[in-house]
Structure 1
Amino acid sequence: MTKKVDLHMHTYYSDGALSPEELLAKAKSVGLSVISITDHDTLDGCINAMSLAPKYGIEIITGCEFSCNDVEREFHVLGYNVDPDNKHLKFHLHNFRNARLVRAKQIHKKLRNMGMMIDFDDILIKADQAPITRPHIAQILLEKGYVETLRQAFDKYIGDSGPAFHPKAVFPVSQAIKLINQANGVAVLAHPANFVDQPTLYKMIQSGLDGIEVIHPMHNQSQREFYRSIAAQYWLLETGGSDFHGNREQDELNFGNFYIPYSIVESIKYHTGQLY
């Protein structure tokens, strides 16, 4: 029997809707044998799932989706088979959470100065166990009646051109690659068709990228073939998954239908010294 592998999904430890155990149960129900929980900038959901995985007969590959950016653009880099106890990785993730908190406080302050009397504790409650993001703040603005839609919250107040915007600290892709490699993992560019032009992609490859996400709901067949050819040309890993969140329109259709062969898992293990 062929093992179905999905190496891209999220829990409520970042911007997903399900707990790690709920996600494991759902993965089993759609016939997945191997998964990687790749929450944004945290390993907490993945670590939680690892202790529960034997109950569901599912293999877990440690994973995290790192938010990277330069001055103008944001990119996502997936780190696979990283060591959760690596001191460099733990230090970065701790600092990242603190930086998100500081940023959220700055946005909150600007909103208050504009007359929107929202309580910061409400934002913390909304984020729950996840690092605070702008969508959490947008949800509070919607609930308090300051906007009619989440999109309006971004367009009018907290988007990149909005009066309450506060920039993230710069974290370049090259630094993410180095961090992931320090934690004995492989660095894979996530859904490149959504973010990355070709010159930028080649620059990332030169920075030491280990792989590229080929199978993804955002990629059509021609894009898959293009990224597969790039992977072959530069000897990169080809990964993929559903990018399941549990709160998006196509999630139920995608989950279990965007998968890759187990040979990719073996390649990841080989690259990280677990197979010889």
Structure 2
Amino acid sequence: MLELHCHTTYSDGTLTPQQLVAAAVDKGVRALAITDHDTISGWDEAISAAQPHNIEIVPGIELSTVHNDRSLHILGFYPNPELLDTPLRERIEGRFRRARMMVEKLAALGYPVELPTLGEGMAPGRPHIARALVNAGYVKSSQEAFERWLGDDRPAYVDYEKFSIVEGIDLLRSCGAVPVWAHPYLFKGGKVEDVLKEMVDAGLMGVEVYHPTHTRSHIENLERLCAEYGLLMTGGSDYHGPSPSGVEGTTLNMLHLSIDLLQPIKQLAKKM
């Protein structure tokens, strides 16, 4: 009944905040976190859409950082939006610069595309470019676009602008947010145990233990590490909505997480 990791069209999701809320209601979700990449612009629409229903919107964000030259994402729950406004404008501008560089690389490779027009507060990402490649007829699917050009170390890939885990955790905590390491076992820049120690030293407060890509052994190890360091445990489907072709990968409420996981996050956020 708890979803603490979901995306909307304000970043790389395919559902608007209103559509996401409707889908969550349909799946029996009682608390839904809006955690778009580097933007909080979808909160208000989601909160308005949720009012007629018995569903709580958890304000959040998924912040993009770089560690050991690899992308590392940090979730932040209950940040103060006024304190985040200026820093996030800088992060979104950086995302646009990165997207334009990838488009330039694709053009040099012989596959020109246009970066889709995005509204105020929307954060561009590789999925937007992948969809442009599909629309241009160069590939049949976004997955193929990633495999050929956009995936890590592929010809059109561009690193995120440097923004360290220390800077990311500091930003979230300075805005009153509870910082949580998102999907640790998707990180390719170091051993989970080593990176977690660095992040705890920087002020990390929780770990996304429950994620569709985590195996049973991953979950057990993360639960042990959370107990060792006294960290909060969170989870979510990392839902991005159906693909443009209508195919749905992860589904809302697929992990059947207890609403009880939310209370410790709320309590910690109140102390920030």
Percentage identity across aligned positions? 35
**Cα distance in 1 between the residues matched to 2:109 and 2:214:** 40
Pairing of 1:56-205 with structure 2 (within 5 A): 56-86=53-83, 89-118=84-113, 120=114, 123-125=115-117, 127=118, 130-195=122-187, 197-205=192-200
Output one character per residue of 1:69-105: Cα deviation in whole Å (capped at 9) or x when no partner: 124211111000111121xx21121011111112222
Aligned residues: 264
Shift of 1:7: 0.9
Q: Note closer, same or farther for the CA distance 1:274–1:57 as it changes in structure 2 (3 Å cut).
A: farther
Q: Is the 8 A contact 1:24 1:56 kept in 2?
A: no
Distance 1:155 1:29, change over 3 A: closer
TM-score (ref. length: structure 2): 0.87
What is aligned with 1:50? 47
Deviation of the 1:156 alpha carbon: 4.1
Corresponding residue number in structure 1 for 2:30: 33
For residues 28 and 159 of structure 1, what CA distance do their matches in structure 2 show?
Answer: 33
The residue number in structure 1 matching 2:250 is 251
Residue 233 (structure 1) shift: 1.3
Which whole-Å CA distance do the structure 2 matches of 1:112 and 1:188 have between them?
A: 37
- Report how far residue 262 of structure 1 moved: 3.2
User: 2:262 corresponds to which residue?
Assistant: 265
Stretch of structure 1 that moved more, 44-53 or 184-193: 44-53
Instruction: List structure 1 segments (4+ residues) > 4 angstroms apart after TM superposition.
Output: none
TM-score (norm 1): 0.86
RMSD: 2.3
Q: CA deviation at 1:152?
A: 4.4
Aligned-partner residue type, residue 97 of structure 2? V
1:207 is the counterpart of 2:202:
yes
Task: Measure, in 2, the Cα distance between the counterparts of 1:256 and 1:141.
Answer: 31
1:20-78 Cα offsets, whole Å, 9 max, x none, are 11111221222221111111111111232123322112111110111111242111110
Distance (whole Å) between structure 2 residues aligned to residue 85 and residue 27 of structure 1: 27
